[in-house]
Each structure stands twice: as C-alpha cells, then as structure tokens.
Structure 1
C-alpha cells in the first residue's frame, strides 16, 4: 500500500505589487525610500544627471574618470574602501549615458556611519593628481584589453556607426581622449556636475529608527537642486544604410556579429510591447533567433537582442558569436527571422512565455534591497511614475499576439541597420558582400579610436 500523497494542485501566482516609496524634500535634493522590515542590509544610491551625454565635447570620458577617482576617498590612494569596510559597507558606483550613480551597500544599523563616509567621498574627495593619473592610465589599459575581445570590440563600434556627437564614442571615452584628460579637468567636472548638485537619494532596507531627513542633509549639504534636463536626439552618422562594417581580426576562427539600428527614446515606446517582442525574437532561450542559429543550425552557443533606451534616443542590438565560415549565413538567417516575425507575428505559446517571464518572476526579481533600489534609480533617471513597475506588469498582462507583431513592424528596421562583424577580413569580405545586405567596409580596429595621424594605439 503506497503512502505517497497526492501532489497538491498549484494555485494562481500572487499578483506582485511594487512597494510604495516614501518621498521627502531635503534642502536641494529629494529622498526616495522603501522600508523593508527585517531586511538587514540597505542599499543607498545617489542619482545625479552627470552621465556621459552631459560631458563637454572635448572632455569625453571625464565622467567615467571622475566616477573612478571618487573611490580614492578623502585621503587619496584608494582610502575609501577600508574606511567603509569598518562598518561592513561597500562602495557602489557606475555611470550611464543619462546618470552618474554613486552609493553604498551597508548594514541597516550602520547606515548613518556609512552614509557619512559616502557623503565625504562624494562632496570633498582628495582628487590628487597622482590618483587621477593612475586611474586614467588604468581606464586606457582596460579599454585596449577589453577591446581585444571580439564581442566587446564589435559592441563598442556601434555608436560610431549610428550617431554623431557624444554617442559616437564609447561611454568610458576613447583612449585618445582619455589620454588628454588632466587632473584639473576632473576636479572641474566634479565641482560643476557632482559636488554642487544635490541629486536624488534612494534608500532601501529596514528603515526602523532611520532618520531619512538627516541622511538627506548629510548627503545633500548645501548643494543646489538638480538642474532641468533637456534632451535632443543626436544626428545620425554619415553613410548609407544598410551597410556592413568588417573589423579585421586576421586568422580569427570565430566572428563576433552585431546587427544594430537606432530606436526611439525610453519615453516614446510602449515598453511591454517592445520588450515582449524583443523577448520573442532573441531575449529568451526559446527565442526565434536562438532556436534557429543555435538549436537548428548549430552556429553559436547563444544569441540575444535588446533595446538600449535612453532619454533622447535608443539603440536596438542583436549580438552573437559564430564560427567564421557561418558568418554570412548567420546574417541572412537573422534577417529571415525578423521578416518572419513581422509578417506572421508571434504564436500564442510565445505570448504566454513572454507574459510569464515578465510577471510571475517579479517577486524574485525585486526580492533584495539592491534590486528595489535599481527600480527606483530607473524611475529617477527616466522621470517615471513611482508605480512604473506595476504599470509594466499590467502592460505585460494585457499583451496580445497582435501587439507583438505590430511592435515588430514598428520597431524593427533591418533596412536601416549596420551589421558589424569582428573577424578575418580576408575570408569574410566576399561572402559578406554576396549577402546583398549592403556595401562592406573593412577597418583596422585600432584606427577606430587612435589619435589622428598616429600609427599606434
């Protein structure tokens, strides 16, 4: 006689609701906070608009260098990390095109101490000449090291193919421009765009006993309110579309392959429709491109696509790495899948997978203080309503197969694309030309960012 019990029937998943944040004005800045009772570790993030797009044209990379230099703290020579570690805290920072993010992760019962050290490092760092030069040289060295990887090389080439102006150069700046940055450039950028701007302070964790107003006063001091941001879509790069850029890597047995074109700004798209369509095409393991290029043809270990949506514009990118002899067919097979999605639309099974992946997993996606803080940071950067996560969830719940097909028709424009291939030009030039996609331009990768007239990187 079996003692096994009948497996319980699964119920409907609980509908996730994003926690409602507190919001208060403190001096020139704003504090946005979510209290999570029992969450012992807190995430603190300061959002300022000093991202890559805010840099002067002759100082590209200064935001990234300034962001790095803050880690040297008020005493220089990487002094910040040991100071924070005494409180169990860790420095967090990054820059985006539209944002300059700094902050700390810290035990909730040590928030005040950690935020005090953070505020000092942010507002009054040492910014010594020797530290800035060391950080600058490290950025340049990292740039070339990372660019030796074919996929990174191809990805960093996208901006120069689609945009003029700041977006034509990678977010961290190019080596030539970075090399010209001086300690005084960094100190001036910090004074004008970081130290004197209050920003928005995001605080997430168990906030029982935490004085949010006091935290705001500590971080903002007498800094001025964040200035209004004006966005203008950048001009396109010169050259006919579509076209192929072939970055020569002699002897390479693989090709890094990217198809990219411009997209609208974050505020101009219906995000559930756009991201749902992107999931069907290349955002899930069961996506069209992965099933074709990986599972059926065996050309790659994986392929993906995504929209990089900024305040003033965006980019759509498909990326993969394939065996060199399959490069040309990988392009035509990708174009065929785009055309098929636009012509025939998504299946009900694909629609169900999109809905589930973007709704059922939300409790896990926002289960940590860091993830919740990240959602608040996004809302600040893009001026989104505080319930934007709930609106996204509801949008995915309302999606139809027709919505996904219309999004493919509205937002996928292969005829306006650039295909970037990092691979062996000698063997790839002719097959790429035979695809009929567009003219093929061969470049030495080092010439993309070298000093004009220079023969060395």
Structure 2
C-alpha cells in the first residue's frame, strides 16, 4: 500500500547548549553536558598558535604538536597507551591556538585524562624523537607542496604580510630545519608545561567531577596570560599584482586571488561569510557557475574568508588548464565586480540563510562538533551564545545586508594573484590582461 510523503514542516530554530564554566586553580573548565553522548570530547586550549612564534623559531609549535605523540615515555608511546582506554589523541596548531585533547568513552575518562595530562605537561621530548619528527615534517612539506594548489596557498602569506604570517604555519622548509631539540624543549617549558589553558569537556557528564578533571589537567600551572593583538604589516609593492610560481612544463595552473581582510572580531560574520558563499562557497556559487558550468575550465572553484584574531584573508581559488589561466583570472574578477555592482539575487539570499540555519541540529549532533565550537569561542574570546548570535544573524539576513557586504569585504583593487604554473607559457598572457605587474619566482625562492 503506497503512502504519500509527509509535508515538510517549518524548521525549528536551533539553540546551542549553554556551557558551564568552573575556575580550577589557574585554569577554566568549560563544559556541556549532553545526556546519551558517551564518547566524551576533551580539548585543552592554549593561546600559542603560530602567530606568536618568534621569527627565529618559526614552526616550533607544529613540531611540538607532532612530538607530543611520542608520549611521556618517548618513541611513539602515546597512541598504544591511549588505546588501552579506547581513547583517540588530538593535537593541532593553527595561527591562534595550540589545541590538544582526546575523545574517550565516559567510563574511561578519569584514567585517560591522567595520561593526557602527562602527555601534554610532561612529555619525554627525546632529542632523537624531535629530530625524527622534524625530518618527517620537512619531507611532508615538500611532498604536499608538489601539489600545485597547496603550493599556491603556501605562497600566499608572503604576498599579504610581513613577519610571521609571511612563512607557512609549519615554518617553511628553511626555518623549520633550524628548530633544534633545545628550542622545542624551551618552547614547551614556557607554554604547555607551565600555563594552565582552558579545558573544554563535552559529553554525558552525569557523575563526572569537572573540578577533579580540572585539577588533574591544570595542576599548579599559571593562569593563561592575555595575548597582545597587533595587526601585521603588509609587504611593500604595488596592488594589485601577479606572482607566478614557476613549474616548467606544467599543463595546468593553480590560481589564488586574495586580499587582506579584517580580523574575526571586526567583521559581521553572517554578512562576510554569506557573501563569500554567494561568490564561491556553494556549488551554485557565481565562480562555480561561471568557471565550471559555463566556461568548462575547471572541476570546481571556491572562495572563503580565513579570519584570525589580528587580521584576515579573503581568497578565491581554482585549478585550470594552462591556456585558460588568463581568462580564468579576468572572469573571476568580473564576477566580483558584478556582485559589488548589482548585489545578490533573492535565490542566493535564501540559499545562504538556509544553508547556515536548517542543518544546525545535525552539525552539532556530536560531542566532537560541540567541542570544536567551544574551542573556537575560547580561541577568539567569543561569548557563550556565539552560535545563537550567528544563527540569528543569518535568519535576519537581508539582500541589502549582503549587497553592502560585497562592497565592504570584497576588495579586488587590493588583490594579489598567485599562479602556480609554467612561467614561460604564462608570462605574456598574464601581462597582457593588465591586472598588475608580474613577478616570477621558483618554489625554492619563496621562504629563504
């Protein structure tokens, strides 16, 4: 017997659970109790991302993150020790934070957190382990940079910033090679070993003593210091301009068109990210429809903001056949100009609203996803109702708000265009389009 499909109801507005905050010693525990979520996510957040690394030790954070996996006993001892508790290790560094953690069944939470605290505060840091991990990172850097798109993105920092952001997060192949075991030990002693940080805990916490967890993780460490926010300076040179990273014989080009953007705290997130989605963040975006569907130049094109505590970047990216490189650049810039001049359509407005509101219950259905949002709040000093504020911002988004965002946040006149491809083949076409002066470098010349 056939049945009719039920009609869809109006989606309910999602509300993110309010976290509980407990001060324990020098640190803070931020927790969400999610009944029935028996896999608990634990994250320890320190304000020691790549942006605050000294220029003579660039990449020390990324290397330290790798070395922590060698555990308190060294020689990759951490993973098998955590497996006995059914726990999975987490460690990553971004520009604004150093995040460690684990996902663990709630019944083994206490034992796993004690091991976690030892791994973060008291790792072995054997010199042989550090050198081995450093060599692996260096090898990985060049293996990943063999992909044109990765090389284009790693070339971007030096075109938009001076100082730390001019070198990739992992330190680049030259700077990272200079990071010694003594440098790692000193960095760890001054940061992860001695500073409390903020402990995020999400899952079914009935019967969990959060204060006891905090004591285990924080011990007698010092309170987390305030980070001084200073906007980084741009490099000298005209804007807009073009950089070709030479890959002789390449039949394809990887493109990145980018400019600086405000910091995370300076933007209206729904407006900024909404206009980024219209331009290149959805399958039906302007760039994808033009470069993929109409011109057939690429399998996909995208655009998005990378917003940090002290600055930001907006970029468009794609990969195309070499002979279509120049037209792909001018076509992308034309889409930006049209968006700034004519604004968004009603269909695009609805798509942005719905893509950022309707799916929230699914997006935050796991402890890991909720913990990720709390980490974001800690790193960027966001209020506990940040998710709800952003959701409400999308719900009340108007065409006028997105139209003004296109003018405010998209600035093609300040752009740099990075092309990874055959310089001999591309030099004349990229000069002829008149975007700006054209410079050619080899990959080896990017991070000296």
Q: What's the TM-score, normalizing by structure 2?
A: 0.99
Which residue of 1 is the match for residue 128 of structure 2?
130
- 1:108-147 to structure 2, matched below 5 A, reads 108-147=106-145
Which residue of 1 is the match for residue 375 of structure 2?
377
State the Cα distance separating 1:113 from its structure 2 match: 1.0
Deviates more, 1:270-279 or 1:49-58: 49-58
Which residue of 2 is the match for residue 38 of structure 1?
36
Which residue of 2 is the match for residue 90 of structure 1?
88
Deviates more, 1:125-134 or 1:173-182: 173-182
Q: Determine the C-alpha separation between the residues in 1 that align with 2:121 and 2:388.
A: 35
Q: Determine the C-alpha separation between the residues in 2 that align with 1:397 and 1:197.
A: 40
State the Cα distance separating 1:174 from its structure 2 match: 1.3
State the Cα distance separating 1:181 from its structure 2 match: 1.1
Q: Determine the C-alpha separation between the residues in 1 that align with 2:401 and 2:411.
A: 17
- 1:324-403 to structure 2, matched below 5 A, reads 324-403=322-401
Q: Determine the C-alpha separation between the residues in 1 that align with 2:114 and 2:11.
A: 42
State the Cα distance separating 1:54 from its structure 2 match: 1.4
Are residues 1:404 and 2:402 paired? yes
Which residue of 2 is the match for residue 419 of structure 1?
417
State the Cα distance separating 1:177 from its structure 2 match: 1.1
State the Cα distance separating 1:4 from its structure 2 match: 2.9
What RMSD, in angstroms, separates the aligned Cα atoms of the two structures? Answer: 0.7
Q: Determine the C-alpha separation between the residues in 2 that align with 1:75 and 1:129.
A: 13
- 1:55-70 to structure 2, matched below 5 A, reads 55-70=53-68
Q: Determine the C-alpha separation between the residues in 2 that align with 1:352 and 1:9.
A: 20
SS at match of 2:191: helix
Misfit runs of 4+, over 6 Å:
none
Q: Determine the C-alpha separation between the residues in 1 that align with 2:191 and 2:258.
A: 32
Q: Determine the C-alpha separation between the residues in 1 that align with 2:106 and 2:302.
A: 38
Which residue of 1 is the match for residue 230 of structure 2?
232
Q: Determine the C-alpha separation between the residues in 1 that align with 2:53 and 2:374.
A: 24
SS at match of 1:195: coil
State the Cα distance separating 1:5 from its structure 2 match: 3.1
Q: Determine the C-alpha separation between the residues in 1 that align with 2:254 and 2:335.
A: 19
Which residue of 1 is the match for residue 303 of structure 2?
305
State the Cα distance separating 1:353 from its structure 2 match: 0.3
Are residues 1:185 and 2:183 paired? yes
Which residue of 2 is the match for residue 290 of structure 1?
288
Q: Determine the C-alpha separation between the residues in 2 that align with 1:281 and 1:449.
A: 31
Which residue of 2 is the match for residue 195 of structure 1?
193
SS at match of 1:194: coil
Residues 179-201 of structure 1 show CA distances to partners (whole Å, capped at 9, x for unaligned) of 11111100000000111010000
State the Cα distance separating 1:381 from its structure 2 match: 0.5
State the Cα distance separating 1:324 from its structure 2 match: 0.8
The runs of 5 or more residues in structure 1 that have no matched partner are: 451-457
Q: Determine the C-alpha separation between the residues in 1 that align with 2:167 and 2:5.
A: 57
State the Cα distance separating 1:203 from its structure 2 match: 0.4
Which residue of 2 is the match for residue 210 of structure 1?
208
| Aligned residue-pair number | 448
